Amino acid sequence: MDDPLLDALIDAGTAMVGIKMKPEWRQAVRMHLTISLGHAATVLETDLPDHLDPAPVYRA
């Protein structure tokens, strides 16, 4: 995702959830969002069975 798309996501997303972004936060938020979306892509590309139950309440 290039910077204009990231910035659009930051602007729209934070506005939608009610966070008032400040310019001085943007660089760090962009860095962390880039890392997080990379991990999200790694997870989303996983081929998992439709019937696999998620584990939001987990028992080891």
Partner 1 sequence: MTAFTPAAEIAAAVASGRTTASAVMTACLDRIERLNPVLNAFTAVLADRARTRAAVVDASRKPKGPLAGVPFAVKNLIDIKGLPTLAGSKINRDDPPATADAPLIGRLEAAGAILVGALNMGEYAYDFTGENAHDGPSRNPHDTVRMSGGSSGGSGSAVGGGLVPLALGSDTNGSIRVPASFCGLFGLKPTYGRLTRAGSFPFVSSLDHLGPLARTTTDLALAYDAMQGYDAADPVCVDRPADPVAARLNSGLSGLRIASAGGYFRAGASPEALAALDVVAAALAASETITIPEAQRARSAAYIITATEGAALHLDRLRTRPDDFDADVRDRLIAGTLIPAAAVMQAQKFRRWYRDEVLKLFQHVDAVLAPATPCVAPLIGQKTFVLDGKEMPLRPNIGVYTQPISFIGLPVVAVPLPTAAGLPIGVQIITAPWREDLALRIARTLEASGVAAAPLPKLEG
Footprint on this chain of partner 1 (rule: CB under 8 A): 9-10, 13-14, 17-22, 25, 28-29, 31-33, 35-40, 42-44, 46, 48, 52-60
Smallest gap from Cβ 4 to partner 1, in A, equals 15
Residue 39's alpha-carbon distances to 2, 43, 45, in angstroms, are 16, 6, 10
In angstroms, the CA 10 to CA 16 distance is: 10
Q: Using the minimum distance from each CB to partner 1, give the nearer residue, 3 or 28.
A: 28
> Considering beta carbons, is residue 3 or 48 the nearer one to partner 1?
48
> First and final CA of the chain: distance in angstroms?
36
